[in-house]
Amino acid sequence: MLVAATAYRMLHHWKPNNVKKDVVVLIWGGAGGLGSMAIQIVKAAGGIPIAVVSSDGKIDFCKKLGAAGVINRNNFKHWGPITTEINKPEKFAEWTKSAREFGKAIWDIAGKGKNPQIVFEHPGESTIPTSAFVCETGGMIVICAGRTGYNASVDLRYLWMRQKRLQGSHCANNENCKGLNDLVIQKKVDPVLSKTFKFEETALSHQMMKNNSHPAGNMAILVGAPKMGMGKK
């Protein structure tokens, strides 16, 4: 409920930049907890979810959830915060060349000239510059976390000249939770539970997340329960 309701609020709450039919949504970390929920929520609304992952091994997983296409971010090298070095013509040209190549990868999936109207952000520091660059004019970069760091940087020219919106978002209210729960009841969103740990394995699950070695989807920890089964032996 944590990641699913958070993703629902990010995609549905911040009107008029809410997901709807044919809206292109770029989803960072498509195979993770937030991303796996976001793909399904966008698809349920009739939007076009495009997932970004860290390895080719996660591509099929995202497509099975409903992603229209998947991009391996390791095929590009321009990640990280931008600095005042970007003001040097040669540095600006170098960075924007790679950012445009990433944008073309989006076009290859959505269609030429179709930029994401919503960018579903949570990596933060390493990806915000690119998110602000590829987001459609009048679109929104919505962010709920900063996994790679909190000191994000953007080229403000793309933000103000293209009238883009940088929106913070956190967890969910009752209306958001009901909206998400309704999608689960309608079987349009699956929890995508990949692995369940015993309570004493909590540290192991956290270490797997730190090492980015956790399985795709969501993990759960049993609290006050010896095993899974909803009370069944």
- The domain tally of the chain equals 2
pLDDT more than 70, % of the chain: 97
Q: Say if residue 47 is in the same domain as residue 136.
A: yes
Q: Say if residue 119 is in the same domain as residue 156.
A: yes
> For residue range 115-143, what is the model confidence (pLDDT) as tens digits?
999 999 999 999 999 999 999 999 999 99
Q: Say if residue 216 is in the same domain as residue 174.
A: no
CATH number at residue 8: 3.40.50.720
The model's confidence at residue 210, banded by pLDDT at 50, 70 and 90, is confident
C-beta neighbour count of 220 within 10 angstroms: 13
For residue 227, what are the domain limits?
192-233
Model pLDDT, residue 228: 67
Q: Say if residue 167 is in the same domain as residue 206.
A: no
C-beta neighbour count of 217 within 10 angstroms: 20
Distance CA 3, CA 191 (A): 10
Distance CA 219, CA 212 (A): 13
Q: Say if residue 181 is in the same domain as residue 202.
A: no
> For residue range 73-104, what is the model confidence (pLDDT) as tens digits?
999 999 999 999 999 999 999 999 999 999 99
Q: Say if residue 136 is in the same domain as residue 118.
A: yes
Distance CA 227, CA 199 (A): 10
> For residue range 6-46, what is the model confidence (pLDDT) as tens digits?
999 999 999 999 999 999 999 999 999 999 999 999 999 99
Q: Say if residue 48 is in the same domain as residue 141.
A: yes
Task: Give Cα separations from 4 to 23, 58, 81, 169, 217 (angstroms).
Answer: 19, 19, 28, 13, 11
- Mean pLDDT score, 160-171: 97
Distance CA 205, CA 110 (A): 35
Query: What pTM did the predictor assign?
Result: 0.93
pLDDT more than 90, % of the chain: 92
Mean pLDDT of the chain: 94
Residue 193 forms beta bridges with which residues? 218
Q: Kindly tell me if the per-residue pLDDT of 153 is higher than 50.
A: yes
Q: Say if residue 168 is in the same domain as residue 204.
A: no
Distance CA 144, CA 166 (A): 11
Q: Say if residue 38 is in the same domain as residue 129.
A: yes
The model's confidence at residue 231, banded by pLDDT at 50, 70 and 90, is very low
Q: Say if residue 57 is in the same domain as residue 159.
A: yes
Q: Say if residue 153 is in the same domain as residue 212.
A: no
Cβ–Cβ under 8 Å, residues 34 and 124: no
Q: Kindly tell me if the per-residue pLDDT of 232 is higher than 70.
A: no
